[in-house]
Each structure stands twice: as structure tokens, then as C-alpha cells.
Structure 1
Amino acid sequence: MASVSAVIATYNRAPELRTALSRLLAQSHAVAEILVVDDGSTDGTDAMVRTEFPSVRYVRLPHNAGLIYARNFGFVNTTGDYVLSVDDDSWFEEPDGLARAVAYLESHADTAGVACNIETRDGLVYFPRGVAPFDVPWYVGCGHLLRRSAVASVGLYMPELYRQGEEKDRCLRLMGAGFRVVALPDVMVYHDKSEKGRKPGLERFYNHRNDLIREVARCPAGLLPWRFARAWIGNSWKNLRHGPRLTDLKVLAALPEIVRIGRKHRAPVSAEAYRRWQHLAATAAPGRVGNAPESSVERSVVALGPHPNPPPLGGGGN
């Protein structure tokens, strides 16, 4: 049976982490190892894990290094054939959720990772339930399973991204290496979305900044000027609509850093793989369903429908 390592990065969410660990340990597919990477918590997380979950490996980083560093640390310090990522406030809704995700990867050697269907307490369901598995351009950090060998072939997350946007960059690299990333709409992960540590303004800044870094690092040269401008304009429009409006100025001030980090990691994928990724980003984006108005649900089903004859993936570009 394939072995699964679970990595959970945490920061000052001891009660939420307790629930996440309890639910994970109740899965029908036993997890070979669980590694909790504590990014500098000060709320007693260490005592809670050591006392209540003695089978769980616990490592406390000496300082707050960011979510992405913690996930990289977890990957290189585990050994399972598959690496499960859930957040400290997320868990499978059904006891066989992990087993079904593993079974899909076991039977699809060309698939590097599966994106679980995320349901949040504010009524968001990412994919319509009952839809057959289909290709997606990225997974969500709080609920996905990755094939270790595929990730090892393309490398770790860019640690400079710090807290978000890493999923898009990795999936683009995986597609460039000839792999697929597939959504499993019936494997549900509940995301409680704890408010602890959430700062919408900071999240929008990193979304904008990290999208630009990804374009510099991965976009083919012939497409880069247009795609960089498109990413900037698209995120600027979101900032104007939702605020804070100073985000654009902060991103502008960070432009030298954005270019430096992007050039440091530059390894563009092929134009074919990049266009394939763009196509999926436009046609397989998450949509609000479940508690949404019927018209929104219908639009989501159309946007999220499977692609029975997807264009071929581009090879090697990394």
C-alpha cells in the first residue's frame, strides 16, 4: 500500500490544530507519518501536540519563516510516496477521503497531484459535486495530495513567495514537465477558515506580488511583456474594487524585489505548456456553488466541467 506523509504548517491555532489532527488520524487510509511544522507559535501549540498526539512528529521553527518555508521543510523531512497538505484548520469531511485521493493517484501515473473539493464555513464550495475528475491549473493549499516523485522532479516552492501563490507556480512547473493536476469534486475537505492570522490587505499584496514573480520566473520570453502587464492590471483592478488601494503602491515599491526574485528562479516552461495552463485558468476556475443563486451555480458547472479531450501537455520546459 502506498505510504502517505501529512504535513501541517501551523501558527498560533492550537484549538483548530487539535481538530485537524483528530480528523486526520480518523482517516481509513492510515497516514504513515504526520509532521506538524510550527512557524513560531506562542499559544501553547507545542505542549498540546506533544501531550495529546504523541504519535505526531512536531518541529518548532526558531522564528516565523512563513507558510511556504514551513511546507518546504515538511516536504524534505518526510518520506511518504505521497505528501498530503491540509491546513491547521481544515480536514476531510468523510473518513475515506484520503483513501479515494490515494486511489486516484495510484491508478493515474501521469497525475502529479489531486485537488480536493474545498467547502468553507462561509458557503463556498470550489467545485460542483458529482462532476467527474477534471484537469485544473492549481490546487488549494488547505487540501491536496501530491506525488513525491513528481514534485522532486520540479523542485520545492520558491521560499521568497512567503505565504501564498505557491500552488500556481508549482502546478505550472508540473505541467511544463508533462504532468497533470486533477480536481476530485467528490473528495471534500472542510476549511474552517480561522480568522487568526488572516490579514486581507496583506493577502492581496502577496497575491499581486507573487503573481508577478511567477510570470517573471515561468513565462516564456515571447509572452512575458504582455503577461506581466496583464497580471499587474488584473490584480490592480481587484485592489481598486476590494481595497486597500494602497496595495498597488506597495507592489510598485516592491518591483525591484519582484524582478530580482523572478530572475533568480527563472526557468520558463514551454509556450505550449504555458498556454495550456492559461486555458485551464480561464475555464476551470473555482466558482461559488451550494448556497449561491441558481444562475451562479449553473455558470460554475459550465466553467468547471471536465475537459474530455484536453490539448496535449507541453514537455520538459524546466
Structure 2
Amino acid sequence: MSCKYSILITSKNRLTDLIFTLNKINYLIERTDVECLLYDDASTDGTYNYVKENFPKIILLRNENSLGLIHNRNVLLNNCSGEYAISLDDDAHFESENVLEIIENHFKTNSKCGVIACRIFWGLKLPNTSILNEEIIRTKAFVGCGHIWNIKAWREIANYPEWFVFYGEEEFAAFQLFKKAWEIQYVPQILVHHRVDIKSRKQKSDYQIRLRRSLRSGWYLYFLFYPWNQIPKRFSYTLWIQIKKKVLKGDVKATFAILQALGDVIIHFPKLMKISNRLNKSEFDSFNKFEETKIYWNP
């Protein structure tokens, strides 16, 4: 059955966060023009059964063994039936009213918009004000925790690269969209509350692996899309910044993460060369005129 809007969520062992999100967006899920697809990535906390019993309208998918966020997002995007695919993290929800109407109106009046990038607040507690003082602009990329695809645009580009594992897949898609003349547009009228404590992440056990994946994905993107003459100085600069700010300050976990990321680039170099879709000088200059990705909204 086709519908206008598809809400896509992937989750793993975060049932408490997921329940909060689903309760927040249930008024959308219950609409007749909305389908919600939820991918349970081999959770062991009862996610699948809870959702099946308490949210019967949600279309459930499940991996018996974890296949990862990027794999799941590819499957969801390739199997949803909506014209517009709304991607939310399991710890993120909308705070704006009339979200679906804003989405439809924007895509209909901006025919080259391939992805809507939402205004996102990162933090456990939403600020008292949500005053809007920003305008719609074209940006280089978008943030995974809250964005909306024009499904026509998704079908014109390559799937997210599952071997990135985590981080960088949105930028990968952004370059592909640019090559196909689709735009990414930041629409601040759509506010997403991403309920995470950024400051505490460095103390968490996955700090090292997050840094490793973040660094390597940025370097992967250089070799996939940047003109050759841009790569050496950018690669060297980012590496030096990591050494200066982390290695020389005694951050042992970061040091290992940097070395691992460099190893990942070496291992995947043949693949990077095989699937590269490099921008020429003119394209690169045009791309760099766009606004930087709007990641954090600070009221």
C-alpha cells in the first residue's frame, strides 16, 4: 500500500529512548497517509515484542544478528512506499507543529530539493525558547538524526556505504546528490529534539571507536570525491589537528583511534579508488560556496 509519508527508525537496545520517541510521534504514526517502518537491529532488550504489542501499526523488521545502522537505513529507504521518507534516530522527535504539511509544501515548491535538513537541538532538556530567527538555505550536507528524503532523489544515487559502519554516510550521499543536481536545503521550521548529552560522550566506553570512525569517514570522503590537488593539504591538516589537540595532550584512546583510522584508509584504499566519483575543479568550487552543514542549533 502506497502512502505519502514514511517514518523510518532503526534501533538497537535502546528501548527506553525508543518508547519515548514513539509516544512523541504517535499522532503522526496514526495518520492514514503515514507508514512507520522500524528496524530492530538484533536488540536483546525486548524491543521487537514491545513495539509489536504496543504499536501495531508500525511495520517491523528485525535482524537476528546486528548488521548496523547504515545497512538498516538502506533497507528502510529501499522498501518504504512514501513519497517523502522521514529519518529519525530512536532518541529524537519532532517539536514543531504541522511537520508533515511543512514537508510537503517545501518539496512541492522546491522541485530540486532532494533532502530537507531539519533544525536540531542536541541536549537532554529542550531550551525554553524555540524562537525562529533562521532562513531556509542550501547546505553541503545533512545530519542523520533528523532529515527527510524526497524518495525520487534517493533512487537516483548509490546506497549509503555500509563499510563506513558509522559516520560519514550523509556526506557520501550529499556528494552523490550534488553530482545529480539535487539540493540539500536546511528548513529551520522543522525542529527536532535529539535527546543526547554530547559532553558526556568523551567519557563513554565507545569514545575511541567513535573517534576512529569519524576520522576515517572524513578521510574516505577526501579520496572518494575531492580533486586530487586538494587531498594532501586537507589530509595533512586534519591529521595535524588531531595530533596537536589529542596526541600531544596525552589522550591515549585518541592516539590509538587515529592510528586505527589511518590503517582503515590504507586497507580500503583500493575500494576508494574503484568507486570514486571525484568532483572537478568547477564542481568543487561551486560545492564549497554552499553553507556548512547545520548540525547543532543553539537558540
TM-score (norm 2): 0.85
Is 2:204 aligned against 1:211?
Answer: no
CA distance 1:42–1:238, change in 2 (3 Å):
farther
**Local SS of the residue matching 1:80:** coil
Secondary structure at 1:154's aligned position in 2? Answer: coil
Deviations 1:48-94 (A, max 9, x none): 11000111011111211111111011111112111110000101002
- Do residues 261 (structure 1) and 253 (structure 2) align? no
**TM superposition shift of 1:244:** 2.2
Instruction: Tell me by how many angstroms 1:21 deviates.
Output: 1.9
Query: Residues 171 and 233 (structure 1 numbering): CA distance in 2 closer, same or farther, change over 3 Å?
Result: farther
Instruction: Name the structure 1 match of 2:114.
Output: 112
Q: Give unmatched runs, 5+ long, in structure 2.
A: none
1:279 to 284, 289, 294: 289
Q: Distance in 1 between matches of 2:271 and 2:22?
A: 35
Distance in structure 2 (CA, Å) of the matches to 1:252 and 1:155 = 25
Q: 1:97 aligns with which of 96, 99, 103?
A: 99
Which residue in the other structure is 2:20 paired with? Answer: 19
Alpha-carbon distance in structure 2 between the residues aligned to 1:121 and 1:162: 24
Secondary structure of residue in 2 paired with 1:168: helix
Structure 1 residue 102, shift from structure 2 partner: 2.6
Partner of 2:68: 66
Aligned residues between the structures: 288
The match for 1:36 among 31, 38, 52 is 38
Check whether the contact 1:26–1:95 (CA below 8 A) recurs between aligned residues.
no
Q: 1:178 aligns with which of 161, 176, 181?
A: 181
* Letter paired with 2:19: R
Which segments of 5 or more consecutive residues in structure 1 lack a partner in the other structure?
291-318
Matches within 5 A, 1:111-260: 111-121=113-123, 129-193=132-196, 199-237=206-244, 239-240=246-247, 244-260=254-270
Find the counterpart in structure 1 of residue 80 from structure 2: 78
**Alpha-carbon distance in structure 2 between the residues aligned to 1:149 and 1:158:** 19
Contact 2:143/2:295 (CA < 8 Å) preserved in 1?
A: no
Runs of 4+, deviation exceeding 6 Å? 194-198
Report the Cα offset of residue 30 of structure 1: 5.6
- Quickly say closer, same or farther: Cα 1:49–1:2, change in 2 above 3 A: closer
Task: Give me the identity figure in percent.
Answer: 21
TM-score under structure 1 normalisation? 0.81
CA distance in 1, matches of 2:273, 2:84: 30
Question: Which residue identity is paired with 2:273?
Answer: R
Structure 1 partner of 2:8: 7
Shift of 1:177: 1.6
The 1:2/1:230 distance shift into structure 2, 3 A limit, reads farther
Q: From the superposition, tell whether residues 237 and 274 of structure 1 become closer, same or farther in structure 2 (CA, over 3 Å).
A: farther
Query: Any conservation in 2 of the 1:211–1:231 contact (CA below 8 Å)?
Result: no
Q: How far off its partner does 1:31 sit?
A: 5.1
CA RMSD after TM alignment:
2.8
